[in-house]
A and B are shown apart, each in its own frame.
Chain A
Amino acid sequence: MKRYIRIYMQLLRLNLATLLTYRVNFINNMIASIGWGAMSLYTVIILTTHVTEAYGWKREELLLLNGLYGVIVGVFHMFLSINMGRMSRIIHMGELDGILIKPIDSQFAISLWQVNFSSVFRILMALGYTVWIMHSMHLVVTVSSILFAVGLALISLVLLYSIWFLMLTNLIWFTNMSNLVVFLYSFESMARFPKEMLTQLASLVFFVVMPLTLVINTPVRVLLHTATFADVMMLVALSVGLWWAARKYWVFALRHYTSASS
């Protein structure tokens, strides 16, 4: 474990050095990151302009849901999705060979090699927006409820990571599907909406999409004091279960990796 922490610290330093070398790219990425954050907030403002409530959620609660979505997804994009975005190219071009021969865990290397520092601005923007919305809603929050929500947000990140990784592991067989990442970004945006929205779906679709809606809904419900024990347990159980499944599936998939000649 210590060794992996040391490796990760070194990776952070390398990423920082890259950032300082390619400053224009950083500014480019920073604008894009702020743009995504702003677009996410703008989307919900536009969608709720003429609306007082949707699926039992008041307009302000929907805005809070989107604020927290910006924070959690911002962290996810900073540390994880940037790596998953290049998975297709790594596998398709046979660069996975280079990762597999390194004396470290391949899932660790493929998931955490790069850090998108420009996402910090998106996170800060969403955080500021979330605090402002909470203040305007006169929400009473205690230190313990904030800590609990943060803890659940971290568990949500594990769930989000596991969903993405499970899906992207399929690239071992379908190497040309680089657009699967675009689909996942689209799929992930479902988390911005109330969980109740999905209850009208057929049970099979609900079962597939439901884990994603827990990612943001559960920490927000904690802040709104409407979370139940079952909500929290479901999030924890799904995070642990899907994490385990993602790990097993990756190990299984590697047995079918045929290198650059595939």
Chain B
Amino acid sequence: MKRFATIFSLYAQHALEYKVRSLVWFGVILFDVFVYLLYWRGVLTSGQTGAPWTFSEAVSYYLLLLVAGNLLQIHIEEEVAFEDIQYGRLSQYLLRPFSYFRFKFFQELPWRLIQGGFGLITLLGISLFVRRIVVVTDAYAIPLVISIVVSAYMLCFIYKMIIGIIAFWTIDYTGLQNIQIILYILLSGLLIPLHLLPSGIRSFALIQPIAYTLYHPVRAVQGAYTLSQLWQVLGMQWVWVILLYGVYRFLWHKGLKVFTAVGQ
């Protein structure tokens, strides 16, 4: 465990050195949140009938999404695909006496904590000085909500690692990366809360794994779920973690056999 603490510490220094990069990732989500809030402000405060939610609910959802998007949205897939697999840097990791998966896990963690910190500071600032954001307060629910947030991180990490190692079989990874970004935006709740989607796609959107990386954790922190619903979310997250980890292991072993070690 000590060596992984060392990896964490080394990459924490790295993340602190490249603060501007973290700030840009933060800016990406901040900008999206800002645009959607501006749009909903115009729509929901103009007195139109049949609006699906209130502006207050929209503010609460999108600001919590700002923190969750920065803390839980992993960006490891580009590095795994381009630098490690396509440029052949993976060889260095294979020669080291520790797991590539765990190395990447502890490499990514400091970045998430720093970007999540930016989000949290923004949320606290807005909550204190502009508009109070309502979050879960039930003492029995809080440990469950924390577990959901941690599980969401692990689920997203495994999902992005799978996306990254698909580069073992592709020469140009860009198309695949774009497809996954589209799916992630549509199915994670980044665009609009999944419960507001049209009924035809809502039920599918709510049970697929990407929803458990962002949408469900945000709703859990909002206090939108009962205790039994929180257990249900946690249970489903672990079903997906186990399933996707199985897929990752399978692809990793198959992929290593086609990896040419000098890049593609």
- Rounded to whole Å, the gap between the CB of B66 and the closest CB of chain A is 13
Contact with B along A37-70 (1 / 0, CB 8 A): 0010011001101111111000000000000000
Flag whether B24 is at the interface (Cβ < 8 A).
Answer: yes
Cβ–Cβ contact B35 & A51, under 8 A: no
Residues of A within 8 A of B18 (CB): 176
A–B complex contacts, Cβ < 8 Å, 19 sampled: A28-B174, A30-B175, A33-B178, A35-B178, A35-B182, A42-B186, A43-B191, A50-B51, A51-B43, A52-B48, A54-B39, A54-B43, A174-B21, A177-B24, A183-B28, A183-B31, A190-B31, A193-B38, A197-B39
Cβ–Cβ contact B197 & A46, under 8 A: yes
Residues of A within 8 A of B21 (CB): 174, 176-177, 179
Cβ–Cβ contact A190 & B35, under 8 A: yes
Query: Given contacts A180-B24, A193-B39, are A31 and B179 in contact (CB under 8 A)?
Result: yes
Residues of A within 8 A of B198 (CB): 46, 49
Flag whether B1 is at the interface (Cβ < 8 A).
Answer: no
Pick from B36, B41, B75, B170: contact of A200, CB under 8 Å: B41
Pick from A22, A50, A189: contact of B171, CB under 8 Å: A22
Query: Given contacts A25-B171, A46-B191, are A32 and B185 in contact (CB under 8 A)?
Result: no
Chain A interface mostly: helix
Cβ–Cβ contact B31 & A187, under 8 A: yes
Cβ–Cβ contact A179 & B35, under 8 A: no
Residues of A within 8 A of B43 (CB): 51, 54
**Cα distance A23–B90 in the bound complex, in angstroms:** 26
Query: Given contacts A35-B182, A176-B18, are A28 and B175 in contact (CB under 8 A)?
Result: yes
- Extra contacts, 7 of them, besides A30-B175, A47-B39 (Cβ < 8 A), are A28-B176, A32-B178, A46-B192, A47-B36, A193-B39, A197-B39, A201-B38
